[in-house]
Amino acid sequence: MQLNRVIKRVILATVILLVADACRTNPFTGQKTLNFYPNSQIFPTAFAQYDEFLKEHKVVKGTADAKMITKVGQRISAAAERWFNANGYPGYLKDYRWEYNLVDDKTVNAWCMPGGKIVFYTGILPICQDEAGIAVVMGHEVAHALANHGSQRMSASTLQQLGAVAGNIAIEDPQTREIFNQAYGIGTEVGGMLPFSRSHETEADRIGLQLMAIAGYDPDVAAELWKRMKAQGGSAPPEFLSTHPSNDTRIANLTQWAPLAKEEARKFGVTTFQK
């Protein structure tokens, strides 16, 4: 019992120190975010994993589609640079190493690792349809990297694991411990981790709209892209059990936010938008 109390106190003290040291400001929202992991720790690992991924997959080089991915990525990242400089964050992107690659894969997906390493799969290109459609997806993925969503998810997972350890130490009865583990696992996933992930996706949608508009792409295209995504069909879990907002939620949000993104772009002298 005495040992358990000591361990619980150590875990509690560790959590308090982590949380106290982990509050960073999201430049886009001005809100504090939970983030234990600095870019200096995350980026090198992400860059190495990205290079390893490219070695193991078929990267498309030199085609019109591959060049378009690079072109759009450069325009979006340049828009991000303009936004940060204009909003009092010069040098925010100094450690980012932007890279944009198209991978031959039928999967309808794209992703961005911390630090700006981006992959588009060829399977998403028919949904994008054109350059502006690619900008919708590119803006969303770049936004994840800019808002440090990857390290925030890692931080949340660390807290979740510490809570599980503390509970298992505190509860001595095996049957009660088993009940706790089941309830804790479901409760923290449905009530914590999944909403956390959905909030990141929603935030990336909104930031991405602003970036694509500043880059000169029409943000009205975003809702149309998600209508095409919805038309692909396929089963999806209820929104509260998903890591992503539903297609209908995203379409409604993007439709609402598109005029605001255009207003933001006009602050940078952008008044016409490529469809």
The catalytic residue among 81, 99, 131, 141 is 141
Which DSSP symbol is given to 91? T
CA distances from 118 to 50, 70, 204 (A): 9, 10, 15
* Amino acid type, 130: D
**Structure-derived torsion over alpha carbons of residues 37, 115, 200, 16, reported in degrees to the nearest 10:** 10
- How is residue 153 written in tokens? 């998810």
Strands 59-60 and 110-113 come out as unpaired
Q: Which residues contact 72 (CB under 8 A, 6 or more apart)?
A: 100, 131, 134, 135, 138, 215
Residue 195, judged by CB atoms within 10 A of its CB (0-12, 13-18, 19+), counts as middle
Closest CA to 84 of 73, 96, 72: 96
Reply yes or no on whether 56 is catalytic: no
Q: Do the Cβ atoms of 253 and 204 come closer than 8 Å?
A: no
Residues involved in catalysis: 141
